[in-house]
Amino acid sequence: MSLNVFHEALHPKKNLPYLNILYTLALLKTKTLIQNLIKQKVLNMVAAIITLAAIGFKSQAQVAALPFTASLDSFYEITGTTVDALYADDVVYQNIPIGFDFYLGGTLHDKMSINTNGYIELDSTGTSTFINIMNGSQNNLVAPFAADLQNKSSNASLQYLTVGTAPNRVCYIQWLHYSYFAGQGDINFQIRLYESSNCISFVYGANTLVQNPLQTQIGLRGTTNLDFVVLGDTSCNWASAYPYPTITTYFPVSFSCNMPSGFAFNFGSCINKGTANFGFITGKVFDDTNGNGTLDSAEAGIKNQLVNITPGNYYVSTNATGSYSFFFVDSTITYSLTVAPITYWNQTNIPNVITCQPSTQACSGLNFGFK
């Protein structure tokens, strides 16, 4: 378009259509520019929110929120730096290097204090106590067997060792052939701290426990006595342990409440450390009086019903309340559960076959209804 034609197009009386076209194009361009600016501003705001959320998550993360599992591992003795001596009792060894940066409950640590009483404090200047350990004045506690312990045997030792290369190093802290105060028992266990994943594992060796042991606690504590994971067990079965709501909980250990060598408790993201987590699949076979396929509070269980679990073709029977429980030893397997049909009854839960993969989903409350 020549300059004269352009001028002519701008004349409102002669060529109003041209003017309308140019005006519309200008509006479209302005609208696109504004949309792009708004879009970019929104993206910047989203990025800022994500960044702040990530920072806030790390700073506000809590020990109490850490995932907990039990597993079978291998207890193998380490040969590292020995910190204790024969007859060491209520002694804390301070300013020990972890060997890498380790996060507990959102706080960063690279030093620890190791205590003869079965725990470490992620602090370079930790203190010692032998009673009410989890509920005392100390914070950032990692306690696989917190009790009044001592080095009372000639073959006993308290050692630490960091192995591997960044970013996959592991720090071991090991109590070997320790005893309860006064020389009772033969107690062996380790803490394993994993770099990057911040997984914490308590791995137990072959232990000779005593019938009436001194108060023993197992768990973690964060920056206050309100942030904790303390394990308990009412069934005298270490595999049934779970976090209790009170920090003063003691773990039942005795002749009859022992654990196999290699038994482990894991806290945090411990999926890739080479163990098969185990636990229980639980549920109920019930009289679905309203036929909705869901267990309601007033609906009774049905006893003596067989539930089949595959792979492995295992069978468990429901108890007097209609409940069943299956102990699995590999959380990486997808299990399929079916229930034997009941004559003249119809199964109401859908699907009839229930599947469960313990490492990725909850495996409790897997109920079968009949009407």
Q: Where are the domains of the chain?
A: 3-60, 65-267, 276-370
Cα–Cα nearest to 337, from 367, 359, 370: 367
d(CA 189, CA 211): 19
Cα–Cα nearest to 105, from 188, 257, 247, 224: 224
d(CA 222, CA 140): 5
**Whole-number pLDDT of residue 254:** 83
Could you read off the pLDDT tens digit of each residue along the chain, which spans 371 residues? 444 444 444 444 445 454 454 445 444 554 554 455 445 544 454 444 433 333 333 434 699 999 898 888 889 899 999 999 999 999 999 999 999 999 998 899 999 999 999 999 999 888 888 888 999 999 999 999 999 999 999 999 999 999 999 999 999 999 999 999 877 899 999 999 999 999 999 999 999 888 777 789 999 999 999 999 999 987 777 888 889 999 999 998 887 788 888 899 999 988 755 444 666 788 999 999 999 999 998 999 999 999 999 987 888 899 999 999 887 767 778 999 999 999 999 999 999 999 998 877 778 889 999 99
Cα–Cα nearest to 113, from 101, 127, 100: 127
This prediction has a pTM of 0.62
Q: Considering Cα of 162, then 164, then 169, then 173, what sign does the dihedral take?
A: negative
**Whole-number pLDDT of residue 277:** 61
d(CA 77, CA 286): 49
**Whole-number pLDDT of residue 341:** 95
Domain 276-370 has CATH 2.60.40.10: yes
d(CA 252, CA 195): 31
**Whole-number pLDDT of residue 303:** 95
Q: Rounded to the nearest 10 degrees, how much is the dihedral formed by the CA atoms of 357, 358, 362, 368?
A: 60
**Whole-number pLDDT of residue 318:** 93
